[in-house]
Structures are given as structure tokens and as C-alpha cells.
């Protein structure tokens, strides 16, 4: 598991991830963590510090610029599937696909806004995961540069 996988796993469990004073990382709720995830966070701490919002400037001087934009979100089809939907990760079940679509679209819009602002953040690293989650719920979407 790498930093993006860790952030995706935390997101799937409804957990939040942030940088505290110094180089301390926080995850809440703590119940979202199991021993495997704790171990992965410790192992990939340096990589996580590079992708967690607000930490790139602290560790590298400036944030890594995103690919030139502007970028846009395209919804090609929105036909929500009935729940429950079991995701291929084997541990996530979506019981209310419509609410999942709403929440995922909000996260995806935030990721596109971050990318358009030239920021690399945890959100921009999770775009593919958001697209896959939408697809599992019956929505076909893509993020592309404006021509």
C-alpha cells in the first residue's frame, strides 16, 4: 500500500487525515484504524507528508504544481444503481448509492478546484478513486483538461 492507497482506505472508512504540530499525523475517528493501516501509515509517513494538504509547502518549499489546466468534470451518464453495492476492495459496501454519488461528486469537484488552482493535494491524488466509486454507483464521469 502506498500513500494514495492509505488515503483512499481512510476515505472509504469515513476517516479524516491531517498534519498536526511538527510532523505528527492525526487520523479520526481512531476506530477507522486497524493494525495494518497503522503500520502502513508509519511505513509511508514521508510520502504522506508530501501529499497531505498543507504539508508540501512545509517540506519542499513550494507545492508541486499540477498539470496545466483548467480542468473540468464531465458527467456522461447518471443512472444510480440500487443498493447495496459491494465494491471490489472487499470491505466497502455502499448502502445508499444516491448519497454516495452526492458526497463523491463534492469531493471530486474539490479535487478539480485544487487542480485548477495549481495545487497538488490528497484530493488530486484521489481523483481516479472518486471516478471508480461513481462508476460503481452507476455514474460515468471523467476529469479532463479544457481544450
Give a yes or no: residue 117 inside a domain: yes
- Phi, psi torsion values for 69, nearest 5 degrees: -120, -160
Q: How many Å apart are CA 100 and CA 132, to the nearest integer? A: 12
Residues 28-32 have a mean pLDDT of 77
Q: Kindly state whether residue 66 falls inside one of the protein's structural domains.
A: no
Same domain, 138 and 77: yes
Per the CB < 8 A criterion, the answer to whether 52 and 17 are in contact is: yes
* Confidence check: pLDDT of 64 > 80: no
Mean pLDDT of 115-127: 70
Indicate whether 65 belongs to any domain.
no
Cis before 84 (ω within 30): yes
CB 142 within 8 A of CB 74: yes
- Taking each helix axis from N to C end, the angle separating 3-12 and 127-136, rounded to the nearest 10 degrees, works out to 40
Confidence of residue 20 (pLDDT cuts 50, 70, 90): low
**Cell 514521508 sits on residue:** 46
When pLDDT is cut at 50, 70 and 90, the band that residue 102 belongs to is very high
Torsions phi, psi of 97, nearest 5? -60, -35
Domain ranges, residue 27: 3-60
**For residues 144 and 4, which has the higher predicted lDDT (pLDDT)?**
144
Q: Please give the radius of gyration of the chain, using alpha carbons only, rounded to the nearest integer.
A: 16
Residues 92 and 123 in one domain: yes
Mean of the pLDDT values across residues 89-110? 88
Cell of 9: 482506505
Amino acid at each position: 500500500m502506498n500513500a494514495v492507497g492509505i488515503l483512499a482506505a481512510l476515505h472509504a472508512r469515513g476517516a479524516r487525515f491531517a498534519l498536526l504540530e511538527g510532523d505528527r499525523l492525526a487520523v479520526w475517528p481512531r476506530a477507522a484504524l486497524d493494525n495494518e493501516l497503522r503500520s502502513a501509515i508509519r511505513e509511508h509517513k514521508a510520502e504522506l507528508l508530501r501529499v497531505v494538504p498543507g504539508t508540501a509547502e512545509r517540506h519542499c518549499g513550494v507545492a508541486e504544481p499540477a498539470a496545466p489546466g483548467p480542468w473540468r468534470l464531465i458527467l456522461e451518464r447518471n443512472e444510480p444503481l440500487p443498493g447495496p453495492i459491494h465494491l471490489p476492495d472487499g470491505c466497502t459496501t455502499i448502502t445508499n448509492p444516491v448519497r454516495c454519488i452526492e458526497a463523491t461528486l463534492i469531493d471530486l469537484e474539490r479535487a478539480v478546484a485544487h487542480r485548477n488552482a495549481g495545487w497538488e493535494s490528497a484530493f488530486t491524488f484521489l481523483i481516479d478513486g472518486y471516478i471508480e466509486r461513481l462508476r460503481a454507483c452507476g455514474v460515468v464521469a471523467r476529469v479532463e483538461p479544457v481544450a
